[in-house]
Amino acid sequence: MTDLQGKTGLIVGVANKRSIAWAIAQAAAEAGARLAITYQGERLEENVRELAATLVNPLILPCDVTDDAQIAHLYEAIDGEFGGLDFLVHGAAFAPREELSGPFVQTSREGFRLSLDISAYSLVALARGALPLMERRGGGSILTLTYLGSQRVFDNYNVMGVAKAALEACVRYLAADLGPKGIRVNAISAGPIKTLAASGISGFSAILQHYRDRAPLHRTVETAEVADAAMFLLGPAGRAVTAEILMVDGGYHATGM
């Protein structure tokens, strides 16, 4: 197992026990890291607090990733408690349901703005806040979550695919910007998993079956498998890896017809 003893990390994007971010949080805690975990609004607070109670001495904080003041308060609290930060996991993503169900050409200006703000720009904002805390530790690792819809057209993915494409570009630019400071920035592109976010995609069950039929491994992936890949990128084994989009999708991305 990856050794994260003595390390501290921030996990953003836990919604419930099926969240990929939660699987990563569990793996990081088992590897010895102490974690700060955020929740988005009162609706998700109870879920996050109940899950975090199973970890050792976590720091639980609110964070609306569209609010710069709240992000600043988040890092002030982490600084006061941890005195620095070793890694950040960004799992925030959102698009209004109505933007996923109609033709992409009908995407509203506000829906586009909100989707890109929460799903892509938030990585930039969180990385900027983490920078001084990671510099204090001599470097760090930032990890986000993406999907193949950034490169290919998937039914009912629409503006979220555009947001994930922007997110992957942010990974590359942040990696170039922060590399000289010893901070690595990567993404995992996971296969489809039944998460809260996936529930908003019409026909998701058909997508899962298509992966089972077409992926070289002839199955979908599990959150624990994504978490194992995350441990590689967050830990010392991935110390020379940055600006990478690591595919964890059973090989589906390599297939043609």
Catalytic residue set: 147, 157
> Measuring CA to CA, which residue among 20, 24, 25, 28 is closest to residue 4?
28
> Measuring CA to CA, which residue among 67, 74, 88, 69 is closest to residue 10?
88
> 201-218 as b/e, with b when 16 or more CB fall inside 10 Å?
beebeebbeebeeebeee
Residue 13 half-sphere exposure toward CB, CA atoms < 13 A = 29
Torsion of CA 209, 217, 234, 151, to 10 degrees: -60
Q: Using the 8-state DSSP alphabet, how is residue 124 labeled?
A: H
Query: By the 8 A CB rule, do 86 and 73 touch?
Result: no
Token pair, residue 37, equals 């975990």
Cβ atoms within 10 A of the Cβ of 77, count? 16
